[in-house]
Structure 1
């Protein structure tokens, strides 16, 4: 329906075009921006392309966001709301809550691969309501565990840094495969023989590659993530004791 209306507007005389531009909301703009980013990465997001996606001229977007940087702040804050942060209770202890939160954080980055590079770049300069709410909930996990508020911040930062660091690497691989136009299975079939051949002179790496060949790539990634997260949480638990 929207496409038909957009087409009919541009079929009318030129003098009516500006007046007939569809009304936009900030929610629509953010949603369209996320769609572009998910499809083609950070390079795909320009105000002109966003206008095309929305069926409006780029200038119409500027009524709601002043700059592309401001748009990215809104987009990142919107996506941040996808992270599920369990509340520590009699049924959910702090370590379980921290694990589920970390897994949810990783899942969010893998669903939106551009988020890894974005979070690594902006750090704590983004202070939207969703980001602040999730940060407060994460602090509650570690404070409930027994850390002081300051130490809870250190603990939360350690876990988030691990998640963003590892998930960003995974997300970069996802983006590279997507740009190739191949499926994950096709990509591995293409590059794996060369990787194995290059590792022939390095017995441990070769043995590791051979072991990984027999398993699903996603299963390997999950194992690496779970192992690293467990190490971080083991360290935090040791500090508590």
Structure 2
């Protein structure tokens, strides 16, 4: 009896079909899926909705992707291709900083991204993801880390960026749904926040300290990133 075939774990682990429907390519499907996700969010992504946007039936999409999980793997890798890859000969800290800021910008442009990372398939096998990770390993190796610690450095910086940017993207999504900008939201909330924090002396002092001042999100992000990189620099002695 023939051995039982194991199911594919990922779009990256099965052979790609060589015959493609001329009227619809994988690249077209992925590009339209990204536009749908950016406009309407993850909850609206389905093969039927995507097919309707492309003027094709869901069956046509299944010629290129087996299911929604495979589609998400493809769109994750697609947007990872937008992240700036530093020059391998650049200063390691400058390269890590540029890459981190670029990753943050990508997450803010595509706020659905962070919510799907690690949830489906083997997204880390996508060519754009692997290209980025391989180059960043080279940056940390050139700085003086050995390969295992270069891997740890890559992971800890990515974890910081994804964590803080996910919260920031969620906040911006809430703000967009409210129809207000950040200044309007702060003005509306200020009196309530002052009353809520009054029983807590340190929070009340902090609120008073920041009264009438902008706290740029970019500065908060950069502060945390600098402290993470300071820690890595200390490991280099």
Short-chain TM bin: 0.7 to 0.9
Shift of residue 190, structure 1, vs aligned partner: 3.3
1:161 is aligned, of 156, 159, 167, to 159
Name the structure 1 match of 2:214.
216
Name the structure 1 match of 2:236.
240
Deviations along 1:158-205, one digit per CA (max 9) or x if unpaired, are 110111111111111112222334334443333343223211222221
Q: Distance in 2 between matches of 1:78 and 1:165?
A: 20
Which has the higher mean CA deviation after the structures are superposed, 116-125 or 49-58?
A: 116-125
Name the structure 2 match of 1:228.
224
Shift of residue 82, structure 1, vs aligned partner: 0.7
1:182 is aligned, of 180, 197, 215, to 180
Name the structure 1 match of 2:81.
81
Q: Distance in 1 between matches of 2:22 and 2:122?
A: 35
Q: Distance in 1 between matches of 2:164 and 2:121?
A: 16
CA contact (8 A) 1:22 1:55 kept: no
Matched, 1:58 2:58: yes
CA contact (8 A) 1:120 1:164 kept: no
Deviations along 1:54-89, one digit per CA (max 9) or x if unpaired, are 122222211111100000000000000111021142
Name the structure 2 match of 1:33.
33
Name the structure 2 match of 1:11.
none
- Please list every run of 5 or more consecutive structure 2 residues that lacks an aligned counterpart in the other structure: 1-20
Shift of residue 143, structure 1, vs aligned partner: 0.4
CA contact (8 A) 1:33 1:75 kept: yes
- Please list every run of 5 or more consecutive structure 1 residues that lacks an aligned counterpart in the other structure: 1-20
Shift of residue 125, structure 1, vs aligned partner: 4.7
Where do 1:81-230 residues align within 5 Å?
81-89=81-89, 92-119=90-117, 121-122=119-120, 125-217=123-215, 219=216, 221-230=217-226
Q: Distance in 1 between matches of 2:93 and 2:121?
A: 25
Q: Distance in 2 between matches of 1:149 and 1:79?
A: 27
Q: Distance in 1 between matches of 2:122 and 2:147?
A: 18
Deviations along 1:29-66, one digit per CA (max 9) or x if unpaired, are 11111111111211121112112211222222111111
SS in 1 for 2:125: coil
SS in 2 for 1:29: helix
Q: Which has the higher contact order (CA 8 A, sep 6+)?
A: 2
Shift of residue 211, structure 1, vs aligned partner: 3.7
Using the size of structure 1 for normalisation, the TM-score is 0.83
Q: Distance in 2 between matches of 1:47 and 1:181?
A: 30
Aligned residues: 217
CA contact (8 A) 2:73 2:121 kept: no
- Looking at secondary structure, tell me which structure has more helix per residue: 1
